Amino acid sequence: MLELFPENNTVLSPSIPDGKIFYYPTFLSKKEADLLYAVFLETTPWQKDNITIYGKTYAQPRLTSLYGLNEKPYSYSNISMHPNPMTPILKDLLSKIENKTEHSFNAVLLNLYRDGKDSNGWHADNEKELGENPIIASISLGQERYFHLKHREIKEERFKIKLAHGSLLLMAGALQHHWLHQIPKTTRPLKQRINLTFRNIK
Ligand SMILES: O=C(O)CCC(=O)C(=O)O
Ligand SMILES: [Mn+2]
């Protein structure tokens, strides 16, 4: 599979059909990223949820937690999550992202991938309450993991990006209509990774 940004040193928007993706590998300094990783790892009320897909219930292969600026619940894969109030440290990160992206967000979903067996299966962030063309800002902390993208209709359009500690990935345009994304499992011995996806829930 073709790797986008293999050197992990480019701020670019590759031209992919039917959607937009931007990657800022050094959005956070190493010092900021180290601090946020330690704080989120220790202070987040990590939840282990069951999800229901096509009528079957599974334990989600990672831990999650939702924070919001308001109390609107957020539902996906038959889970309804109630947000914790956003902490000052999350609000700081939110405004840093809003300054960079010139978009606003009101909720953030945290994922903790404990090792290579934890994953996030093929999906699109296309819940109704995210609106027509959702803009999702994704921060990665800790262990680098591959993020895979595949076009729903054009089989040859598949990419992967290694998401660096402290990086920002922005998904926009019609991406969630035409592409699926995943964090695949791997048998390599991996350390923990935290991902935060900032979203705007209408
Ligand atoms: O962990 C990641 O980088 C992606 C997370 C994701 O796609 C999601 O939470 O919807
Ligand atoms: Mn997603």
Tens of pLDDT, residue by residue over 52-65, are: 878 888 889 999 99
> Residue 79 belongs to what domain range?
2-169+186-193
Answer yes or no: is 175 within a domain: no
Across residues 105-111, what is the average pLDDT?
Answer: 97
Asked if residue 16 is part of any domain, the answer here is yes
Token pair, residue 69, equals 């600026």
Whether pLDDT at 11 is above 60: no
Does the residue 179 lie in any domain?
Answer: no
In a domain, 56, yes or no: yes
Domain count, the chain: 1
CATH code at 45? 2.60.120.590
* Assigned domain for 199 exists: no
At 13 the pLDDT is: 63
Indicate the average pLDDT of the chain: 92
Nearest residue CA, atom 8 of ligand 1?
A: 197
Q: Are strands 2-3 and 158-163 parallel, antiparallel or unpaired?
A: parallel
68-84 pLDDT, tens per residue? 998 888 887 777 888 99
Residue 181 placed within a domain: no
Atom of ligand 1 at shortest distance to CA of 76?
Answer: 10
Q: Is the CB of 125 under 6 A from ligand 1?
A: yes
The residue nearest atom 10 of ligand 1, judged by CA position, is 125
